[in-house]
Amino acid sequence: MSKSDLEESSTGSVTSVITKPTIWQRFRSHLKKWWWAYLIGFICIFLVVFLPIIYVGIPHWADSYIDSYDYDETGLAITNPRPTSFHVSQSKKIRMGGGFSGSGHLSTFNASIRTSDDQEFAIFPVPEIKFGDGAYLNIDQDLDLSCVDCLSQLAVSAATNKSFSVLVEGKPNLKIGALPTAHLNIHKTMKMNEFINSDGSFNITTLDALSDNSEYNFNATISVRNPTPFTVEMGHVTFNLSMGGSTLGYVDLPNLMLEQDISSAVVLIKVNESMLIDEALLGDGDLGVVTIDIKGHSCGYNGQDIPYFAAAIQAVSASATVDLLQYASSLFD
C-alpha cells in the first residue's frame, strides 16, 4: 500500500471511535463480578447495626419504659386475707403511651415480688396484656406468700417509715407488630407512703355511749388514712388505749376495710370511764379535752390471725385528741 493510500485511510469520512463507559455502567459491571462481596458487606452492616437495634435496643427501651412507668393502682383491691395468702383483683384499661401503639402483647410471666433488701416473698403470675388502643389488665386470683416473715417486715416498714417500696422483677416477652419477639428483663421499684403514724391520719368523728352493753361502753366513728393507694381488707383489728402512760381500755374494729385515701369505720370501745372523766375535768389540758394514745394490738380474719397485717398493726403508735364536750349530749343523756 502506498503512502497516499494510508493517508486517505486515516483521514477519510468514516472513522472508528471508542466510547468510554459511564460510571453507572462500570458499577454494574463491577457488581456483576463482585456481587458476593457486596452481599457479605450488607449482611455485616445488618448484623452490626440493625440487629442490635431490634434485639437489644427495643428490649432495652421497653425495659426502661416499664421500669419508669407510673402504675395506676386505681381499682386494685387486696381482700380475703389468710395467714399465707390473700386475694388480688383489678380490672382496668392501662394507658401505655405512644411507645406501645399498634398491635402486640406482653406475654404471661411470673413476677417475683421482693422487699427493698431483695427478699422474695411472693411470685405473682401476671396475665397476658394486649395493647393497641390501650392495654387491658384483668387480675382476679389468689397470691400465695412464700415468705410471710418478709412481708411482715415490709408491713412494719410501712407502719414506721415515711415511705417504703417493693421490687418487682420478671422476664416476659414483648411482641410489637411484625418485629421479632423481644425478651425483656423488668426491674420495677414501686414506692408507697407510710402507714397511719402521721398527724391527722387517725381521728374520731363521732362518739356515743352504750349504756345497755356489758362488754363495751362506747361506740365511735373514726377516720383512718389508708397507707396504700389501693383497697385493703384488714379484718378484725384491735388497738389498746392508754392515757398518760396508764391503761385506759381498748378498741375493736370488727371489719376494717381501708379504702383509697380516707376510710371511715364504726368501732366499739371499752374504756375506764372514771379515768376518762377525771382527765377531761381535772387534767392539765383544756377543759373536756383528752389525749388518748393508741397502740396496735392484733389483726385477724375469719378467726385466724393474719401475721403480716398484725405486724403492721402492732407497729402503729398514734394519738388522738378528743374534746369530750363536743359529745356531751350523746355521752351523758
Q: Which band of pLDDT confidence, cut at 50, 70 and 90, is reported for residue 100?
A: low
Q: Which band of pLDDT confidence, cut at 50, 70 and 90, is reported for residue 60?
A: low
Is residue 170 located within the same domain as residue 269?
no
Residue 331 pLDDT greater than 80, yes or no: no
Q: In the chain, what percentage of residues exceed pLDDT 70?
A: 65
Average confidence (pLDDT) over 75-87: 90
Kindly report the CATH number assigned to the domain that includes residue 93.
Answer: 2.60.40
Four-residue CA torsion sign, 220, 221, 226, 232: positive
State the pLDDT at residue 32: 65
Q: Residue 3: is it exposed, middle or buried by C-beta count within 10 angstroms (0-12/13-18/19+)?
A: exposed
State the pLDDT at residue 241: 93
State the pLDDT at residue 148: 93
Residue 81 pLDDT greater than 80, yes or no: yes
What pLDDT, in 10s, does the model give residues 138-147?
A: 788 898 999 9
Q: Residues 67, 90, 253, CA angle at the centre, nearest 5°? A: 110
Q: Which band of pLDDT confidence, cut at 50, 70 and 90, is reported for residue 51?
A: very low
State the pLDDT at residue 72: 57
State the pLDDT at residue 197: 46
Is residue 220 located within the same domain as residue 241?
yes
Name the helix (H) or strand (E) containing 195. none
Residue 288 pLDDT greater than 70, yes or no: yes
State the pLDDT at residue 53: 47
Q: Residues 93, 235, 165, CA angle at the centre, nearest 5°? A: 55
Which of 146, 164, 191 terminates a domain? The answer is 191
Is residue 107 located within the same domain as residue 224?
no
The parent domain of residue 109 ranges over 77-191
Beta-strand relationship, 231-243 and 77-82: parallel
Average confidence (pLDDT) over 188-211: 66
Four-residue CA torsion sign, 273, 275, 281, 283: negative
- The candidate with the shortest Cα–Cα distance to 137, out of 100, 92, 179, 104, is 92
Q: In the chain, what percentage of residues exceed pLDDT 90?
A: 15
What pLDDT, in 10s, does the model give residues 211-231?
A: 776 788 888 888 777 666 678
Q: Which of 58-67, 226-235, 250-259, 296-305 has the lowest mean pLDDT?
A: 58-67
State the pLDDT at residue 54: 46
State the pLDDT at residue 221: 85
Is residue 81 located within the same domain as residue 125?
yes
The reported pTM is: 0.71
Is residue 208 located within the same domain as residue 258?
yes
Average confidence (pLDDT) over 245-250: 93
Residue 5 lies in a domain: no
Is residue 277 located within the same domain as residue 311?
yes
Q: Between 68 and 105, where is the model more confident? A: 105
Residue 299 pLDDT greater than 90, yes or no: yes
Q: Which of 3-17, 129-143, 181-195, 215-229 has the lowest mean pLDDT?
A: 3-17
Is residue 326 located within the same domain as residue 208?
yes
Residue 221 lies in a domain: yes
State the pLDDT at residue 111: 87
Phi then psi for 58, rounded to 5 degrees? -65, -50
Is residue 234 located within the same domain as residue 296?
yes
Question: What's the mean per-residue pLDDT of the chain?
Answer: 75
Q: Between 32 and 113, where is the model more confident? A: 113
Q: Which of 14-28, 44-58, 233-247, 288-302 has the lowest mean pLDDT?
A: 44-58
Q: Structurally, how many domains does the chain consist of?
A: 2
Is residue 176 located within the same domain as residue 209?
no
Which of 145, 172, 191 terminates a domain? The answer is 191
- Where do runs of H (alpha helix) occur along the chain? 3-10, 23-45, 51, 58-68, 148-160, 273-282, 307-314, 328-331
In 132-285, the DSSP E strands lie at: 135-144, 163-170, 173-176, 182-183, 186-193, 202-209, 218-225, 231-243, 246-258, 262-271
Distance CA 236, CA 323 (A): 27
Distance CA 32, CA 30 (A): 5
Is residue 136 located within the same domain as residue 240?
no
Distance CA 208, CA 48 (A): 77
Average confidence (pLDDT) over 46-52: 49
